[in-house]
Amino acid sequence: MTLEEMKKVISKDPETRNIEVPEVDIYKVYQYLLERDQKGAKNGYEPVLMTDPYIEIIYRPTKEKAIEIKREKIRQHLKFYDSEVYIQDASLSRFEVFNDERQHAYEESLAFINEYRKDRYSKGIFFYGKNWTGKSYLLSAIAQELAEKNISVLFVYMPDLVRSIKQGMNEGNLEERINQLKQADVLMLDDVGGENMTPWFRDEILVPIMQYRLSAKLPVFMSSNYDFERLIDFLAVNKDEASLMKAARLIQRIKDLMTPIRLVKEQFKEKNT
């Protein structure tokens, strides 16, 4: 095809007829039109004609390819502790905000995602409230948002953690498993209080992990049905004075690591109980 014929094709196409195309870019724009009109994108990418500041063809992922890229990025940076118990389609933009508490939870979550840097410490968040208030959903949404930003997150479903720790003892890799929990860039513990708590697990597993992360200034997120006061009672397994003191010390570390935020599902502001 001659240059003049290419010009005619360009001048008749709705997308390019109003573009001033320099002589040197005639073939490039014509080539774009040919690629655009081919059925199907190549390897998940489709051509786009850019005209400012100069004419060039770029290739952007299709909607399907963009979703695939997003999922792959999440897979690379969102790790799980033996089980993938999290809400895969969770999104902060879809978190329902209909009262002051949930607005506060949304704003604090977004602030952490936007401001987190490895070289600057940011406190995590302790989400607490009744069942079905969105605690696990928020954790999952934050985890995925961070993973999309190439931040490594270790997501742990607490009832599975006890089983995993016992398995590590049997397999001889307990220290390696604990170090994963200690050293993750961001650690998320979902459903704290839903596990079978023992004094040994509290004192030999949870306390060293929290103390390490506090000293290393590594953020932790938690979700729980319990507030701090009720969580002390849960952690004080034997209910004696010594056990209560140990539970209180652990809670103090949790307070130092996280900002508590209560979630409610009612569409009105509940009074604190």
List, for residues 60-77, the tens digit of each pLDDT value: 988 887 767 666 766 666
User: For the chain, how many residues are written?
Assistant: 273
Identify the CA nearest to 121 among candidates 213, 253, 251. 213
Low-confidence ranges of the chain (pLDDT < 70): 39-40, 67, 69-71, 73-77, 81-87, 266-273
pLDDT in tens, 45-58: 899 999 998 999 99
Which domains are present in the chain?
Answer: 3-61 (no CATH), 68-262 (3.40.50.300)
Residues 6+ apart with CB under 8 A from 202: 235, 237, 246, 247, 250
Per-residue pLDDT at 61: 86
What's the Rg (C-alpha) of the chain? 26
Rounded Cα gap, residues 129 and 266, in angstroms: 12
Q: Sign of torsion, CA 156 160 162 165?
A: negative
Per-residue pLDDT at 40: 66
CA dihedral 105, 111, 114, 116 (to 10 degrees): -100
Per-residue pLDDT at 44: 87
